[in-house]
Structure 1
Amino acid sequence: MTIPAPLDPAAFIEKNLKLQPAPALPEIRLYAAHSGSRLRRLVEAGPAGAAEHPPYWAYHWAGGTVLARHFLDRPQTVAGRRVLDLGAGSGVVGIAAIKAGAASALAAEIDGNGCVAIGLNAAANGVCLAVTGKDLTANEPPDVDLVAVGDLFYARDLALAVTAFLDRCLTAGIEVLIGDPGRAHLPHARLRRIAEYAVPDFGDAVRGPAGASAVYAFEPETAGRAA
Protein backbone atom coordinates (compact mmCIF):
# COMPACT_ATOMS: atom_id res chain seq x y z
CA MET A 1 0.00 0.00 0.00
CA THR A 2 1.29 3.42 -0.93
CA ILE A 3 1.46 5.84 1.97
CA PRO A 4 0.54 9.34 0.87
CA ALA A 5 3.22 11.94 1.37
CA PRO A 6 2.57 14.29 4.30
CA LEU A 7 1.04 17.61 3.39
CA ASP A 8 3.14 20.76 3.57
CA PRO A 9 0.81 23.18 5.40
CA ALA A 10 2.27 26.29 3.77
CA ALA A 11 2.04 24.84 0.27
CA PHE A 12 -1.50 23.59 0.96
CA ILE A 13 -2.68 26.99 2.21
CA GLU A 14 -1.14 28.86 -0.70
CA LYS A 15 -2.66 26.44 -3.22
CA ASN A 16 -6.11 25.88 -1.75
CA LEU A 17 -7.10 29.01 0.16
CA LYS A 18 -7.82 32.41 -1.38
CA LEU A 19 -5.62 35.38 -0.61
CA GLN A 20 -8.03 38.30 -0.61
CA PRO A 21 -8.92 41.49 1.28
CA ALA A 22 -10.51 40.76 4.64
CA PRO A 23 -14.11 41.91 5.14
CA ALA A 24 -14.21 45.43 6.61
CA LEU A 25 -10.40 45.52 6.33
CA PRO A 26 -9.49 46.36 2.73
CA GLU A 27 -5.98 47.26 3.91
CA ILE A 28 -5.27 43.64 4.87
CA ARG A 29 -5.20 40.50 2.72
CA LEU A 30 -5.62 37.08 4.32
CA TYR A 31 -5.68 33.46 3.18
CA ALA A 32 -9.28 32.40 3.79
CA ALA A 33 -11.30 29.22 3.41
CA HIS A 34 -13.91 28.81 0.69
CA SER A 35 -16.18 26.02 -0.51
CA GLY A 36 -13.40 24.29 -2.44
CA SER A 37 -10.53 24.69 -0.01
CA ARG A 38 -10.69 21.08 1.31
CA LEU A 39 -9.46 22.13 4.74
CA ARG A 40 -10.40 18.80 6.25
CA ARG A 41 -7.49 17.21 4.36
CA LEU A 42 -5.05 19.59 6.02
CA VAL A 43 -6.48 19.01 9.50
CA GLU A 44 -6.50 15.22 9.14
CA ALA A 45 -2.94 15.19 7.81
CA GLY A 46 -1.62 16.91 10.91
CA PRO A 47 0.01 15.31 13.97
CA ALA A 48 -1.98 13.34 16.54
CA GLY A 49 -4.41 15.63 18.31
CA ALA A 50 -4.43 18.23 15.54
CA ALA A 51 -8.07 17.46 14.74
CA GLU A 52 -8.98 18.80 18.19
CA HIS A 53 -8.36 22.27 16.81
CA PRO A 54 -10.89 23.30 14.15
CA PRO A 55 -9.29 25.56 11.52
CA TYR A 56 -10.70 28.76 12.99
CA TRP A 57 -7.69 30.62 11.59
CA ALA A 58 -9.08 30.20 8.06
CA TYR A 59 -12.23 32.22 8.72
CA HIS A 60 -13.06 35.84 9.50
CA TRP A 61 -14.36 36.37 13.03
CA ALA A 62 -15.90 39.58 14.32
CA GLY A 63 -13.74 39.91 17.44
CA GLY A 64 -10.46 39.97 15.56
CA THR A 65 -11.92 42.09 12.78
CA VAL A 66 -13.19 44.77 15.15
CA LEU A 67 -9.84 45.01 16.95
CA ALA A 68 -7.97 45.24 13.66
CA ARG A 69 -10.34 47.94 12.41
CA HIS A 70 -9.90 49.85 15.67
CA PHE A 71 -6.10 49.75 15.46
CA LEU A 72 -6.09 50.93 11.86
CA ASP A 73 -8.58 53.73 12.56
CA ARG A 74 -6.90 54.79 15.82
CA PRO A 75 -3.20 54.05 15.38
CA GLN A 76 -2.36 55.90 18.59
CA THR A 77 -3.76 52.86 20.41
CA VAL A 78 -0.76 50.75 19.41
CA ALA A 79 1.88 53.17 18.05
CA GLY A 80 5.30 52.37 19.47
CA ARG A 81 3.94 49.62 21.72
CA ARG A 82 4.65 45.89 22.06
CA VAL A 83 1.44 43.99 21.32
CA LEU A 84 0.37 40.42 22.09
CA ASP A 85 -2.32 39.04 19.76
CA LEU A 86 -3.75 36.28 21.98
CA GLY A 87 -5.58 33.46 20.19
CA ALA A 88 -4.36 35.04 16.99
CA GLY A 89 -6.11 32.82 14.43
CA SER A 90 -5.18 34.35 11.09
CA GLY A 91 -2.93 36.94 12.75
CA VAL A 92 -5.14 39.79 11.56
CA VAL A 93 -4.93 41.71 14.84
CA GLY A 94 -1.15 41.54 14.99
CA ILE A 95 -0.88 42.49 11.31
CA ALA A 96 -3.12 45.52 11.88
CA ALA A 97 -1.08 46.51 14.93
CA ILE A 98 2.16 46.55 12.95
CA LYS A 99 0.53 48.43 10.09
CA ALA A 100 -0.70 50.99 12.64
CA GLY A 101 2.79 51.54 14.01
CA ALA A 102 3.28 49.03 16.83
CA ALA A 103 6.91 48.46 17.78
CA SER A 104 6.37 44.70 17.67
CA ALA A 105 3.61 42.09 17.71
CA LEU A 106 3.60 38.54 19.03
CA ALA A 107 0.88 36.26 17.65
CA ALA A 108 -0.03 33.39 19.98
CA GLU A 109 -1.94 30.54 18.30
CA ILE A 110 -2.05 26.94 19.54
CA ASP A 111 -3.07 25.46 16.16
CA GLY A 112 0.11 24.59 14.25
CA ASN A 113 -1.55 25.15 10.89
CA GLY A 114 -2.71 28.52 12.16
CA CYS A 115 0.88 29.43 13.02
CA VAL A 116 1.85 28.64 9.43
CA ALA A 117 -1.04 30.73 8.11
CA ILE A 118 -0.02 33.66 10.30
CA GLY A 119 3.44 33.63 8.74
CA LEU A 120 1.98 33.55 5.24
CA ASN A 121 -0.52 36.30 6.03
CA ALA A 122 2.16 38.50 7.56
CA ALA A 123 4.37 38.07 4.49
CA ALA A 124 1.45 38.83 2.17
CA ASN A 125 0.96 42.12 4.00
CA GLY A 126 4.64 43.04 4.16
CA VAL A 127 4.90 42.94 7.95
CA CYS A 128 6.96 40.93 10.42
CA LEU A 129 5.28 39.13 13.31
CA ALA A 130 6.74 36.88 15.97
CA VAL A 131 4.66 33.69 16.30
CA THR A 132 4.34 31.21 19.15
CA GLY A 133 2.36 27.98 19.33
CA LYS A 134 2.43 27.87 23.13
CA ASP A 135 -0.69 28.22 25.27
CA LEU A 136 0.29 31.45 26.99
CA THR A 137 -2.79 31.43 29.21
CA ALA A 138 -1.14 28.82 31.44
CA ASN A 139 1.84 31.05 32.20
CA GLU A 140 2.83 34.52 33.26
CA PRO A 141 2.35 37.17 30.56
CA PRO A 142 5.22 37.98 28.20
CA ASP A 143 6.97 41.35 28.21
CA VAL A 144 4.44 43.41 26.25
CA ASP A 145 2.54 46.68 26.68
CA LEU A 146 -0.84 45.65 25.29
CA VAL A 147 -2.74 42.36 25.04
CA ALA A 148 -5.43 42.16 22.34
CA VAL A 149 -8.02 39.37 22.63
CA GLY A 150 -10.47 38.63 19.84
CA ASP A 151 -13.22 36.01 20.13
CA LEU A 152 -11.94 33.88 23.02
CA PHE A 153 -15.15 33.84 25.07
CA TYR A 154 -17.25 31.33 23.16
CA ALA A 155 -16.67 28.42 25.60
CA ARG A 156 -16.85 28.50 29.40
CA ASP A 157 -13.58 26.72 30.25
CA LEU A 158 -11.64 28.76 27.71
CA ALA A 159 -13.19 31.99 28.99
CA LEU A 160 -12.19 31.16 32.56
CA ALA A 161 -8.60 30.42 31.57
CA VAL A 162 -8.36 33.56 29.45
CA THR A 163 -9.85 35.75 32.18
CA ALA A 164 -7.37 34.43 34.75
CA PHE A 165 -4.51 35.16 32.34
CA LEU A 166 -5.82 38.66 31.66
CA ASP A 167 -5.95 39.33 35.40
CA ARG A 168 -2.25 38.44 35.57
CA CYS A 169 -1.66 40.86 32.70
CA LEU A 170 -3.38 43.68 34.59
CA THR A 171 -1.34 42.88 37.68
CA ALA A 172 1.81 43.19 35.55
CA GLY A 173 0.70 46.62 34.35
CA ILE A 174 -0.30 45.47 30.86
CA GLU A 175 -3.30 47.05 29.16
CA VAL A 176 -5.93 44.61 27.83
CA LEU A 177 -8.33 45.22 24.95
CA ILE A 178 -11.03 42.74 23.93
CA GLY A 179 -12.87 42.58 20.62
CA ASP A 180 -16.12 40.64 20.66
CA PRO A 181 -19.60 40.58 19.11
CA GLY A 182 -21.16 39.34 22.35
CA ARG A 183 -20.17 35.69 22.79
CA ALA A 184 -21.85 33.62 25.50
CA HIS A 185 -19.11 33.89 28.14
CA LEU A 186 -17.95 37.46 27.70
CA PRO A 187 -17.18 38.92 31.19
CA HIS A 188 -19.45 41.95 30.82
CA ALA A 189 -19.00 43.14 34.41
CA ARG A 190 -15.28 43.59 33.77
CA LEU A 191 -15.59 45.52 30.50
CA ARG A 192 -15.73 49.16 29.48
CA ARG A 193 -16.89 49.73 25.91
CA ILE A 194 -14.58 52.10 24.03
CA ALA A 195 -15.57 51.64 20.39
CA GLU A 196 -18.14 49.92 18.20
CA TYR A 197 -18.08 48.93 14.53
CA ALA A 198 -20.40 47.10 12.17
CA VAL A 199 -18.24 44.22 10.98
CA PRO A 200 -19.11 40.78 9.56
CA ASP A 201 -18.84 37.61 11.61
CA PHE A 202 -18.36 34.01 10.59
CA GLY A 203 -21.72 32.70 9.40
CA ASP A 204 -23.19 36.09 8.52
CA ALA A 205 -23.89 34.84 5.00
CA VAL A 206 -26.47 32.59 6.63
CA ARG A 207 -27.62 34.75 9.56
CA GLY A 208 -27.86 38.08 7.79
CA PRO A 209 -26.02 41.41 7.52
CA ALA A 210 -23.05 42.43 9.62
CA GLY A 211 -23.90 43.47 13.16
CA ALA A 212 -22.26 45.71 15.71
CA SER A 213 -19.20 44.39 17.51
CA ALA A 214 -17.31 46.25 20.19
CA VAL A 215 -13.84 46.91 21.51
CA TYR A 216 -13.67 46.83 25.28
CA ALA A 217 -11.09 47.72 27.91
CA PHE A 218 -10.75 44.87 30.40
CA GLU A 219 -10.62 46.29 33.92
CA PRO A 220 -9.72 45.02 37.40
CA GLU A 221 -12.56 43.29 39.19
CA THR A 222 -12.92 45.97 41.83
CA ALA A 223 -13.21 48.64 39.14
CA GLY A 224 -15.24 46.59 36.67
CA ARG A 225 -18.55 47.78 35.47
CA ALA A 226 -21.10 46.53 32.97
CA ALA A 227 -20.60 47.61 29.38
Structure 2
Amino acid sequence: MTTGPEGDPEGFIRTHTAIARPPLVPEIALHLATEITPIWQATEAWLGETGIEPPFWAFAWPGSQAMARLILDAPARVAGRRVLDFAAGCGLAAIAAARAGAALVEAAEIDPLAVAATRLNAALNGVAVTALAADLVGSVSPRAGRWDLILAGDVCYEAPMTGHILPWLRAMAAAGAEVWLADPGRAYVPREGLAAMARFDVPVTRELEDCDSRPVTIARLLG
Protein backbone atom coordinates (compact mmCIF):
# COMPACT_ATOMS: atom_id res chain seq x y z
CA MET A 1 0.00 0.00 0.00
CA THR A 2 1.20 3.50 -0.77
CA THR A 3 1.78 5.25 2.54
CA GLY A 4 1.17 8.78 3.67
CA PRO A 5 -1.60 11.30 3.09
CA GLU A 6 -0.89 11.25 -0.68
CA GLY A 7 -1.81 7.56 -0.82
CA ASP A 8 -5.27 6.08 -0.46
CA PRO A 9 -6.90 7.20 2.81
CA GLU A 10 -10.25 5.64 1.98
CA GLY A 11 -8.56 2.32 1.22
CA PHE A 12 -6.70 2.52 4.52
CA ILE A 13 -9.95 3.11 6.38
CA ARG A 14 -11.72 0.21 4.66
CA THR A 15 -8.81 -2.10 5.47
CA HIS A 16 -8.51 -1.23 9.15
CA THR A 17 -12.14 -0.78 10.19
CA ALA A 18 -15.41 -2.70 10.12
CA ILE A 19 -18.91 -1.43 9.51
CA ALA A 20 -20.69 -1.08 12.84
CA ARG A 21 -23.54 0.84 14.43
CA PRO A 22 -23.06 3.03 17.52
CA PRO A 23 -25.12 1.73 20.45
CA LEU A 24 -27.04 4.97 20.99
CA VAL A 25 -27.59 5.60 17.26
CA PRO A 26 -28.19 2.21 15.60
CA GLU A 27 -29.87 3.90 12.63
CA ILE A 28 -26.46 5.00 11.34
CA ALA A 29 -23.72 2.68 10.07
CA LEU A 30 -20.07 3.75 10.28
CA HIS A 31 -16.58 2.53 9.43
CA LEU A 32 -15.22 2.01 12.97
CA ALA A 33 -12.20 0.39 14.61
CA THR A 34 -12.78 -2.35 17.16
CA GLU A 35 -9.71 -1.55 19.30
CA ILE A 36 -7.65 1.59 19.71
CA THR A 37 -4.09 0.23 19.81
CA PRO A 38 -4.07 -1.61 16.44
CA ILE A 39 -5.63 1.30 14.51
CA TRP A 40 -3.29 3.76 16.23
CA GLN A 41 -0.23 1.69 15.30
CA ALA A 42 -1.50 1.18 11.74
CA THR A 43 -2.05 4.92 11.36
CA GLU A 44 1.48 5.70 12.53
CA ALA A 45 2.88 3.16 10.07
CA TRP A 46 0.76 4.52 7.21
CA LEU A 47 1.78 8.11 7.91
CA GLY A 48 5.39 7.20 8.62
CA GLU A 49 5.20 9.13 11.89
CA THR A 50 5.25 8.30 15.60
CA GLY A 51 3.76 10.07 18.59
CA ILE A 52 0.63 11.15 16.73
CA GLU A 53 -2.68 11.83 18.45
CA PRO A 54 -5.16 8.95 18.66
CA PRO A 55 -7.21 8.34 15.50
CA PHE A 56 -10.35 10.04 16.79
CA TRP A 57 -12.13 9.45 13.47
CA ALA A 58 -12.14 5.68 14.06
CA PHE A 59 -14.59 5.75 16.99
CA ALA A 60 -18.10 7.04 17.67
CA TRP A 61 -17.32 9.13 20.76
CA PRO A 62 -20.05 9.69 23.37
CA GLY A 63 -20.46 13.39 22.60
CA SER A 64 -21.13 12.73 18.93
CA GLN A 65 -23.49 9.86 19.72
CA ALA A 66 -25.53 12.06 22.06
CA MET A 67 -25.59 14.88 19.51
CA ALA A 68 -26.78 12.53 16.77
CA ARG A 69 -29.42 11.02 19.06
CA LEU A 70 -30.84 14.45 19.90
CA ILE A 71 -30.97 15.39 16.21
CA LEU A 72 -32.72 12.20 15.13
CA ASP A 73 -35.18 12.42 18.02
CA ALA A 74 -36.00 16.07 17.30
CA PRO A 75 -35.39 16.61 13.55
CA ALA A 76 -37.37 19.86 13.52
CA ARG A 77 -34.43 21.48 15.36
CA VAL A 78 -32.28 20.90 12.27
CA ALA A 79 -34.57 20.60 9.25
CA GLY A 80 -34.01 23.29 6.64
CA ARG A 81 -30.97 24.76 8.39
CA ARG A 82 -27.34 25.15 7.31
CA VAL A 83 -25.31 22.96 9.65
CA LEU A 84 -21.60 22.62 10.47
CA ASP A 85 -20.27 19.57 12.31
CA PHE A 86 -17.12 21.10 13.83
CA ALA A 87 -14.18 18.77 14.58
CA ALA A 88 -16.41 16.11 13.09
CA GLY A 89 -14.36 12.96 13.68
CA CYS A 90 -16.19 10.20 11.84
CA GLY A 91 -18.97 12.59 10.77
CA LEU A 92 -21.70 10.99 12.89
CA ALA A 93 -23.46 14.22 13.89
CA ALA A 94 -23.24 15.55 10.34
CA ILE A 95 -24.86 12.39 8.98
CA ALA A 96 -27.65 12.68 11.54
CA ALA A 97 -28.23 16.30 10.51
CA ALA A 98 -28.44 15.32 6.85
CA ARG A 99 -30.92 12.56 7.69
CA ALA A 100 -32.98 15.07 9.68
CA GLY A 101 -33.45 17.26 6.62
CA ALA A 102 -30.81 19.97 7.00
CA ALA A 103 -30.60 22.20 3.92
CA LEU A 104 -26.78 22.05 3.91
CA VAL A 105 -24.34 19.99 5.98
CA GLU A 106 -20.60 20.57 6.19
CA ALA A 107 -18.18 18.64 8.39
CA ALA A 108 -14.80 20.17 9.22
CA GLU A 109 -11.65 18.34 10.32
CA ILE A 110 -7.91 18.97 10.22
CA ASP A 111 -7.07 15.24 10.01
CA PRO A 112 -7.13 14.02 6.38
CA LEU A 113 -8.15 10.53 7.54
CA ALA A 114 -11.13 12.03 9.39
CA VAL A 115 -12.12 13.88 6.23
CA ALA A 116 -11.93 10.64 4.26
CA ALA A 117 -13.87 8.78 6.97
CA THR A 118 -16.64 11.39 6.87
CA ARG A 119 -16.93 11.01 3.09
CA LEU A 120 -17.06 7.21 3.37
CA ASN A 121 -19.58 7.25 6.20
CA ALA A 122 -21.85 9.77 4.46
CA ALA A 123 -21.84 7.61 1.31
CA LEU A 124 -22.52 4.51 3.38
CA ASN A 125 -25.66 6.17 4.76
CA GLY A 126 -26.76 7.71 1.46
CA VAL A 127 -26.63 11.33 2.60
CA ALA A 128 -24.96 14.48 1.28
CA VAL A 129 -22.26 15.87 3.56
CA THR A 130 -19.43 18.13 2.38
CA ALA A 131 -16.22 17.20 4.18
CA LEU A 132 -13.90 20.17 4.71
CA ALA A 133 -10.17 19.71 5.36
CA ALA A 134 -9.61 22.96 7.23
CA ASP A 135 -9.05 24.63 10.57
CA LEU A 136 -11.97 27.02 10.44
CA VAL A 137 -10.92 28.90 13.56
CA GLY A 138 -9.53 32.22 12.42
CA SER A 139 -10.26 31.53 8.75
CA VAL A 140 -14.04 31.97 8.81
CA SER A 141 -15.33 35.21 10.25
CA PRO A 142 -18.19 34.96 12.74
CA ARG A 143 -19.86 37.67 10.66
CA ALA A 144 -19.92 35.49 7.55
CA GLY A 145 -23.31 34.01 8.46
CA ARG A 146 -22.37 30.75 6.77
CA TRP A 147 -24.13 28.39 9.23
CA ASP A 148 -27.34 28.49 11.22
CA LEU A 149 -26.28 25.66 13.54
CA ILE A 150 -22.82 24.51 14.65
CA LEU A 151 -22.41 21.11 16.33
CA ALA A 152 -19.36 20.64 18.57
CA GLY A 153 -19.29 17.18 20.09
CA ASP A 154 -16.63 16.36 22.71
CA VAL A 155 -14.13 19.06 21.75
CA CYS A 156 -13.02 20.28 25.21
CA TYR A 157 -10.81 17.36 26.20
CA GLU A 158 -7.49 19.28 26.25
CA ALA A 159 -6.60 22.77 27.46
CA PRO A 160 -4.81 23.91 24.25
CA MET A 161 -7.66 22.65 22.05
CA THR A 162 -10.28 24.35 24.22
CA GLY A 163 -8.34 27.60 24.32
CA HIS A 164 -8.05 27.55 20.52
CA ILE A 165 -11.67 26.83 19.61
CA LEU A 166 -13.88 28.14 22.40
CA PRO A 167 -13.46 31.90 21.72
CA TRP A 168 -14.32 31.28 18.05
CA LEU A 169 -17.39 29.22 18.91
CA ARG A 170 -18.56 31.90 21.35
CA ALA A 171 -18.02 34.56 18.68
CA MET A 172 -20.07 32.49 16.23
CA ALA A 173 -22.85 32.27 18.81
CA ALA A 174 -22.70 36.01 19.46
CA ALA A 175 -22.95 36.63 15.70
CA GLY A 176 -26.20 34.67 15.48
CA ALA A 177 -25.32 31.01 14.92
CA GLU A 178 -26.79 28.44 17.28
CA VAL A 179 -23.92 26.43 18.79
CA TRP A 180 -24.45 23.07 20.50
CA LEU A 181 -21.72 21.71 22.74
CA ALA A 182 -21.63 18.10 23.96
CA ASP A 183 -20.12 17.55 27.41
CA PRO A 184 -19.25 13.96 28.38
CA GLY A 185 -17.63 15.23 31.58
CA ARG A 186 -14.35 16.42 30.10
CA ALA A 187 -12.13 18.57 32.30
CA TYR A 188 -12.02 21.69 30.15
CA VAL A 189 -15.69 22.24 29.32
CA PRO A 190 -16.68 25.77 30.39
CA ARG A 191 -18.80 25.98 33.51
CA GLU A 192 -20.54 29.21 32.54
CA GLY A 193 -22.30 30.44 29.43
CA LEU A 194 -24.09 27.16 28.71
CA ALA A 195 -27.82 26.42 28.56
CA ALA A 196 -28.52 22.70 28.97
CA MET A 197 -30.83 21.16 26.37
CA ALA A 198 -30.74 17.38 26.88
CA ARG A 199 -28.90 14.59 28.69
CA PHE A 200 -28.11 11.04 27.58
CA ASP A 201 -26.37 8.04 29.10
CA VAL A 202 -24.15 6.69 26.33
CA PRO A 203 -22.81 3.11 26.41
CA VAL A 204 -19.02 3.14 26.03
CA THR A 205 -16.13 0.68 26.18
CA ARG A 206 -13.71 0.46 29.07
CA GLU A 207 -10.79 0.55 26.65
CA LEU A 208 -11.73 4.09 25.56
CA GLU A 209 -13.49 5.56 28.59
CA ASP A 210 -12.64 3.27 31.55
CA CYS A 211 -16.35 2.85 32.30
CA ASP A 212 -19.45 1.19 30.84
CA SER A 213 -21.50 4.32 30.22
CA ARG A 214 -20.92 8.04 30.24
CA PRO A 215 -23.49 10.77 30.91
CA VAL A 216 -23.47 13.42 28.18
CA THR A 217 -25.13 16.81 28.41
CA ILE A 218 -25.95 18.72 25.24
CA ALA A 219 -25.94 22.46 25.90
CA ARG A 220 -26.37 25.59 23.85
CA LEU A 221 -23.26 27.77 23.98
CA LEU A 222 -24.08 31.39 24.71
CA GLY A 223 -22.20 34.17 22.97
TM-score by length of 1: 0.87
CA offsets per residue over residues 69-119 of structure 1, 9 Å max, x none?
000001111110000100000000100001111111110011111111110
Aligned twin of 1:28: 28
Maintained 8 Å contact 2:85/2:108: yes
Return 104-113 or 159-168, whichever deviates more. 159-168
**1:5 partnered with 2:2:** yes
Counterpart Cα distance in 2 of 1:150 and 1:71: 12
| 1:207 paired residue among 201, 210, 213 | 210
Classify 1:166/1:210 alpha carbon distance in 2 versus 1 (closer, same or farther; 3 Å): same
Aligned twin of 1:124: 124
Classify 1:173/1:162 alpha carbon distance in 2 versus 1 (closer, same or farther; 3 Å): same
Maintained 8 Å contact 2:98/2:105: yes
Aligned twin of 1:153: 156
Which SS does the other structure have where 2:72 is aligned? helix
Aligned twin of 1:45: 46
Q: How many residues align?
A: 216
Shift of 1:208: 3.1
| 1:163 paired residue among 139, 163, 166 | 166
Counterpart Cα distance in 2 of 1:47 and 1:111: 15
TM-score by length of 2: 0.89
Shift of 1:39: 4.3
Which SS does the other structure have where 2:88 is aligned? coil
Return 196-205 or 134-143, whichever deviates more. 196-205
Classify 1:104/1:157 alpha carbon distance in 2 versus 1 (closer, same or farther; 3 Å): same
Maintained 8 Å contact 1:33/1:39: no
Shift of 1:201: 3.8
Structure 1 segment 91-102 matched on structure 2, within 5 A: 91-102=91-102
Aligned twin of 1:135: 135
Which SS does the other structure have where 2:121 is aligned? helix
Aligned twin of 1:218: 221
Aligned twin of 1:224: none
Return 132-141 or 71-80, whichever deviates more. 132-141
Return 156-165 or 138-147, whichever deviates more. 138-147
Shift of 1:17: 0.4
Identical aligned residues as a percent: 35
Q: Please give the root-mean-square deviation of Cα atoms over the aligned residues, in Å.
A: 2.1
Maintained 8 Å contact 2:65/2:92: yes
**1:77 partnered with 2:77:** yes
Maintained 8 Å contact 1:17/1:37: no
Which SS does the other structure have where 1:22 is aligned? coil
**1:113 partnered with 2:113:** yes
Counterpart Cα distance in 2 of 1:159 and 1:127: 30
**1:90 partnered with 2:96:** no
CA offsets per residue over residues 8-54 of structure 1, 9 Å max, x none?
22112112201111121011011111249544223332277x96342
Structure 1: where are the runs of 5+ without partners? 221-227
Shift of 1:207: 2.8
| 2:178 paired residue among 171, 175, 178 | 175
Return 7-16 or 168-177, whichever deviates more. 7-16
Classify 1:10/1:184 alpha carbon distance in 2 versus 1 (closer, same or farther; 3 Å): same
What amino acid is the match of 2:80? G
After the TM superposition, which segments of 4 or more aligned residues of structure 1 sit over 6 Å from their partners? Answer: none
CA offsets per residue over residues 113-148 of structure 1, 9 Å max, x none?
111111000000001111111111223246010011
What amino acid is the match of 1:176? V
